[in-house]
């Protein structure tokens, strides 16, 4: 390819406060309130990405040896679709919502929910899908009307520099700013006040972000890693398991947050699954993964050494692969059979091309082992009969579930972790929702003053009216059991207190808040 790429230059620390205050000032001047302004930004970003597809691909190749197909699948194509989807829906999403689930009387106050932008927000990106996972949250933040400072990962330096070029060549510089750097620059950013911080990265750094946000009560979205189990029961199809699990580890050489960390395989299935892994590998990489343009490399020496020591410290048996080349940051797809969840292959997120198999006696043991791992996974991947899959889903927790698959996520469905794998979600409509405050607005018309007057002192003689007004009639008894004709009681009381009580309830609630 040989496209000339911009060079990454860290932002001088002393420039960071003024960069942030530029973006904050633009928000306070209401520059991003206008929906048409936001749409113009998104459309311009679309064309910046489209017109720089070669740079994006080249940067991904140089930083990660990412195959062109994977760049199209998970970087360029993903972002372009994300922008088109957002632009198509934005007018609908920004509409005020009529408040639901309210009593007739409150309807007089015309309650509605406005989707207010949060303000000036910070996005911190990871290295593995550097474009999608840094610009993805930014697309939502722009759509929702925030001003944004973004900090790409310094671990993918060419990609970080191209991200800056895309932003600076297409977006309004007073509203959207890039800060480049590593730990020191991120710390300087975290010292500023934000209206929300959106972080994608490791659980350890996630803790640092949450701590830094706490003094200012800044809300955070944390999209973190996961020690994700796959379940292979007696009824699973070993060929399907092998092809799909191999795919989950070959994309980006397993450097995906949603990729499975270990497979809990029914012991009667282990040999057949391993056999199928070998067949699938041969089919996907007839000449081996080494030297193949269809296989990424490990991001840097530090990650390579971490992965190597994970394998070196394992008590497991290598059944396939195991080849490594530090100079080329290459690690082959490697199947390892271990006998304990305490093995080094299971205790940490591998974030590399390791397929760890832990044989189990039965499904109950698999579920108990998965639940015994201290961290809540980002994804789980069950293979088995319908009943087995349902049992797995209903007795575990995770950010998401892909039945009969690995690492699959439908781009427009909400995505996010739970517990240790993160908090908050985005993608599709959720990418807009995560960046807005749902602001309740009521308007009490002057003509209901005589009804509202019940809330003003003197209170004497009003308490009974309040009680009659505000008491919803329960449709359950003291033992927590539902009453047989609860619905009838509800109907007879017009959904709660008496019909005349409505305004009184409104007043009571207004007085109590
Ligand atoms: P990382 O946590 O090392 O770095 C992420 C960002 O944090 C980078 O921009 C980096 O500059 C910054 N950072 C690093 N150390 C910091 C510190 N001490 N103080 C402040 N900022 C710091 O993560 P990574 O290596 O880029 O990405 C891999 C991790 O991210 C994996 O754990 C993976 O599972 C997770 N991840 C999660 C998702 C998701 O959507 N849930 C997606 C991709 C990656």
Burial class (CB in 10 A: 0-12, 13-18, 19+), 496: middle
Whole-number Å distance between alpha carbons of 131 and 465: 61
**Average pLDDT score over residue span 476-489:** 83
Residue 490 banded pLDDT, cuts 50, 70, 90: low
**Average pLDDT score over residue span 228-247:** 98
Residue 503 banded pLDDT, cuts 50, 70, 90: very low
Structure tokens at 483: 């009453």
Q: Which pLDDT score is estimated for 312?
A: 97
Residue 466 banded pLDDT, cuts 50, 70, 90: confident
Assess whether the previous peptide bond of 458 is cis (omega < 30° from 0): yes
Cβ of 200 less than 6 Å from ligand 1: yes
pLDDT in tens, 79-101: 999 999 999 999 999 999 998 88
Q: Which pLDDT score is estimated for 373?
A: 83
pLDDT in tens, 160-200: 999 999 999 999 999 999 999 999 999 999 999 999 999 99
Expressed in angstroms, the distance from the first to the final Cα of the chain is 64
Residue 502 banded pLDDT, cuts 50, 70, 90: very low
Cβ of 231 less than 6 Å from ligand 1: no
Give the Å distance between the CA of 59 and the centre of ligand 1.
19
Give the Å distance between the CA of 200 and the centre of ligand 1.
6
Structure tokens at 201: 């990265």
**Average pLDDT score over residue span 277-290:** 97
Which residues, 6+ apart, have CB-to-CB distance to 506 below 8 Å?
A: 103, 105, 106, 108, 109, 451, 452
User: Is pLDDT of 471 > 80?
Assistant: no
User: Is pLDDT of 237 > 50?
Assistant: yes
Give the Å distance between the CA of 105 and the centre of ligand 1.
50
User: Is pLDDT of 1 > 80?
Assistant: no
pTM as predicted: 0.94
- For residue 155, the tally of other CB atoms under 10 A from its CB is 20
Ranges of beta strands (E only) in 377-506 are 379-383, 400-401, 422-423, 436-441
Whole-number Å distance between alpha carbons of 150 and 194: 12
**Average pLDDT score over residue span 270-276:** 98
Cβ of 201 less than 6 Å from ligand 1: yes
Q: Which pLDDT score is estimated for 454?
A: 87
User: Which protein residue has the closest C-alpha to ligand 1 atom 23?
Assistant: 201
Which letter, b or e, does each residue of 464-477 get, where b requires 16 or more Cβ atoms within 10 Å of its Cβ? ebbeebbeeeeeee
Structure tokens at 503: 């305004």
User: Is pLDDT of 497 > 80?
Assistant: no
Q: Which pLDDT score is estimated for 499?
A: 38
| CB of 320 closer than 8 Å to CB of 278 | yes
| Helical spans, DSSP H, in 171-227 | 183-190, 203-213
Q: Which pLDDT score is estimated for 486?
A: 64
Which letter, b or e, does each residue of 176-196 get, where b requires 16 or more Cβ atoms within 10 Å of its Cβ? bbbbbbeeebbebbbebebbb
**Average pLDDT score over residue span 294-315:** 97
| CB of 230 closer than 8 Å to CB of 263 | yes
Cβ of 225 less than 6 Å from ligand 1: yes
Give the Å distance between the CA of 223 and the centre of ligand 1.
9
Cβ of 223 less than 6 Å from ligand 1: yes
**Average pLDDT score over residue span 336-357:** 96
Whole-number Å distance between alpha carbons of 363 and 361: 7
Q: Which pLDDT score is estimated for 504?
A: 47
Whole-number Å distance between alpha carbons of 455 and 452: 6
Which residue numbers are catalytic? 223, 257
| CA torsion through residues 229, 233, 238, 244, sign | negative
């Amino acid at each position: 390819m040989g496209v000339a790429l911009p060079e990454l230059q860290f932002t001088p620390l002393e420039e960071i406060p003024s960069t942030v205050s530029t973006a904050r000032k633009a928000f306070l001047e209401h520059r991003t309130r206008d929906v048409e302004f936001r749409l113009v930004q998104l459309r311009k970003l679309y064309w910046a990405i489209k017109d720089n597809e070669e740079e994006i691909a080249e940067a991904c190749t140089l930083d990660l040896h990412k195959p062109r197909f994977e760049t199209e699948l998970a970087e360029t194509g993903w972002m372009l679709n994300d922008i088109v989807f957002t632009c198509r829906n934005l007018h609908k999403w920004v509409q005020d919502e009529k408040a639901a689930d309210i009593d007739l009387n409150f309807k007089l106050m015309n309650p509605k929910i406005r989707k207010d932008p949060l303000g000036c927000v910070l996005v911190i990106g990871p290295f593995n899908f550097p474009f999608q996972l840094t610009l993805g949250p930014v697309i939502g933040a722009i759509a929702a009307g925030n001003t944004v400072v973004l900090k790409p990962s310094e671990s993918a330096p060419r990609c970080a520099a191209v991200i800056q070029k895309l932003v600076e060549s297409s977006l309004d510089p007073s509203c959207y700013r890039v800060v480049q750097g590593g730990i020191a620059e991120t710390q300087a950013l975290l010292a500023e006040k934000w209206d929300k911080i959106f972080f994608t990265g490791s659980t350890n750094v996630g803790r640092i972000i949450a701590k830094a946000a706490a003094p200012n009560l800044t809300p955070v979205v944390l999209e973190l890693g996961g020690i994700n189990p796959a379940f292979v029961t007696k009824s699973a199809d070993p060929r399907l398991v092998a092809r799909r699990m191999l795919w989950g580890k070959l994309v980006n050489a397993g450097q995906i947050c949603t990729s499975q960390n270990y497979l809990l395989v029914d012991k009667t299935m282990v040999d057949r699954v391993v056999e199928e892994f070998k067949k699938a590998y041969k089919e996907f990489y007839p000449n081996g993964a080494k030297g193949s343009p269809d296989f990424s490399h490990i991001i840097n020496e530090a990650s390579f050494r971490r992965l190597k020591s994970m394998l070196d410290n394992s008590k497991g048996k290598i059944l396939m692969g195991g080849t490594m080349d530090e100079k080329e940051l290459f690690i082959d797809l490697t199947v390892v059979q271990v006998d304990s969840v305490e093995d080094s292959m299971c205790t940490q997120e591998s974030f590399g091309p390791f397929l760890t198999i832990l044989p189990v006696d039965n499904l109950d043991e698999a579920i108990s082992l998965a639940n015994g791992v201290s961290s809540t996974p980002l994804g789980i991947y069950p293979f088995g009969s319908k009943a087995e899959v349902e049992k797995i889903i209903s007795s575990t927790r995770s950010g998401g579930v892909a039945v009969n698959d690995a690492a699959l996520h439908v781009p427009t469905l909400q995505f996010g972790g739970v517990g240790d794998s993160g908090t908050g979600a985005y993608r599709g409509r959720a990418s807009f929702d995560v960046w807005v405050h749902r602001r309740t607005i009521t308007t009490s018309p002057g003509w209901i003053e005589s009804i509202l007057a019940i809330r003003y002192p003197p209170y004497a003689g009003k308490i009974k009216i309040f009680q009659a007004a505000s008491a919803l009639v329960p449709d359950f008894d003291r033992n927590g059991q539902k009453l047989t004709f609860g619905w009838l009681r509800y109907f007879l009381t017009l959904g709660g207190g008496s019909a005349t009580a409505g305004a009184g309830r409104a007043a009571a609630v207004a007085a109590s808040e």
